[in-house]
Chains A and B, each alone.
Chain A
Amino acid sequence: EADIYQTPRYLVIGTGKKITLECSQTMGHDKMYWYQQDPGMELHLIHYSYGVNSTEKGDLSSESTVSRIRTEHFPLTLESARPSHTSQYLCASSEFGFSGNTIYFGEGSWLTVV
């Protein structure tokens, strides 16, 4: 059982609002990730972090931003939400290793922007 938590699980907000999706893990993992997934589609990496004060853009361009001030916490923020941001956002973490990383996922946050 993975100890990685996302809140909120479901969020419906109006266009132009600022939102933050919270993600925390209690496994002490250095690496954390945010993936975006539309229903029935593949996951796309939008942000990742290799440790505190480290953040990088992923493969899919995203208007969201992230921060990594503490090892266990990796929040994602949208300054001004738009309907095109409607999607599922999955947070994940893994240990640092070169021989293969098992990635542990949270339950996901479903964001609907109306």
Chain B
Amino acid sequence: SQQGEEDPQALSIQEGENATMNCSYKTSINNLQWYRQNSGRGLVHLILIRSNEREKHSGRLRVTLDTSKKSSSLLITASRAADTASYFCATPAGGTSYGKLTFGQGTILTVHP
């Protein structure tokens, strides 16, 4: 079974709106990461949040982590058409960080101009 599961599976919004994607995981972790993937391309690391952090910002991105609920959210504010991509959360395989990551199925975000 998957460690990380994102919802919604797909999200369609207008430019300027905010986009929120959620990720749930099963085992205890010491960090959680979010990645972005443009269609047909490799993944690009967006942000890493550690288990002792509750919220982290990077530009228009805001990530929260609730270890008690085993969930995380990624918020993209003031979305742009260029934000259209798939977004994946990733957790360390086995819970600890020895490099291997387990990815969820991803949220496909479409931002309409």
Contacts and interface: CB of A to CB of B under 8 A. Distances in A.
Interface range on chain A (Cβ under 8 Å from partner): 20 to 34
A92 B42 CA distance: 9
Given A41-B105, A90-B42, A105-B42, A99 B99 contact: no
Interface stretch (A13-21, A65-73, A74-82, A106-114): A106-114
Given A99-B31, A100-B31, A102-B33, A108 B99 contact: no
A105 B43 CA distance: 6
A99 B99 CA distance: 10
Contacts, number: 78
A100 B50 contact: yes
Contact of B97 (A33, A90, A99): A99
A99 B41 contact: no
B25 interface: no
Interface of A: 2, 6, 31, 33, 35, 40-43, 45, 48, 50, 58-59, 88, 90, 92, 94, 96-108, 110
Given A43-B88, A99-B50, A99-B97, A59 B30 contact: no
Given A42-B2, A43-B88, A59 B42 contact: no
Contacts of B30: 99-100
Contact of B99 (A2, A43, A50, A88): A50
Q: 9 tightest CB-CB pairs across the interface, nearest first?
A: A105-B42, A100-B31, A43-B103, A105-B43, A31-B99, A42-B105, A107-B42, A102-B45, A101-B99
Contact of A58 (B2, B43, B100): B100
A2 B41 CA distance: 13
Interface in B21-52: 30-31, 33, 35, 40-45, 48, 50
9 contacts: A2-B44, A6-B42, A42-B2, A43-B88, A50-B99, A98-B97, A101-B101, A102-B48, A106-B42
